[in-house]
Amino acid sequence: MFERRRFILAVCSVLLLGLLGCAGTKQRESTGEYFDDTAITTRVNAAILKEPSLKFFQIEVETFKGRVLLSGFVDTKEQVATAGRVAAGCKGVKTVVNHLVVK
């Protein structure tokens, strides 16, 4: 009986440590946040691709905890504004940091 309790305690400890290892911090995403951010990045990339005035391969999109960072080089100031507006309109985006530069 004692061995069985010890085994159950060990299994519960391993499961608890596994769950705590998936928790996020300010500098690190949790597993769920990682998948959410991947989905947001995909949505923003798709929206940029659909926007005829933007060149998809000029814009890099990164997401961390719902905060979207746009970087790269575009041709006009209007494209900078359009990319920011398109990104902000995507589901799940909390804020947009637009670091696009006009070349």
Residue 34 lies in a domain: yes
Q: What is the pLDDT of residue 12?
A: 56
Question: What's the CATH number where 87 sits?
Answer: 3.30.1340
Residue 86 lies in a domain: yes
Q: What is the pLDDT of residue 30?
A: 82
Q: What is the pLDDT of residue 101?
A: 97
pLDDT tens track for 4-48: 677 676 665 665 555 555 555 656 778 888 999 999 999 999 999
Structural domains counted in the chain: 1
CB 89 within 8 A of CB 47: yes
pTM for this prediction: 0.74
Q: Which residue would you say has higher pLDDT here, 29 or 56?
A: 56
CB 87 within 8 A of CB 70: yes
Residue 12 lies in a domain: no
Domain hosting 40: range is: 25-102
Residue 15 lies in a domain: no
φ and ψ at residue 61, rounded to 5 degrees: -120, 130
Residue 53 lies in a domain: yes
Residue 52 lies in a domain: yes
Residue 16 lies in a domain: no
Q: What is the pLDDT of residue 81?
A: 97
Residue 40 lies in a domain: yes
pLDDT tens track for 77-93: 999 999 999 999 999 99
> What are the angstrom distances between the C-alpha of 55 and each of 39, 59, 83?
21, 7, 10
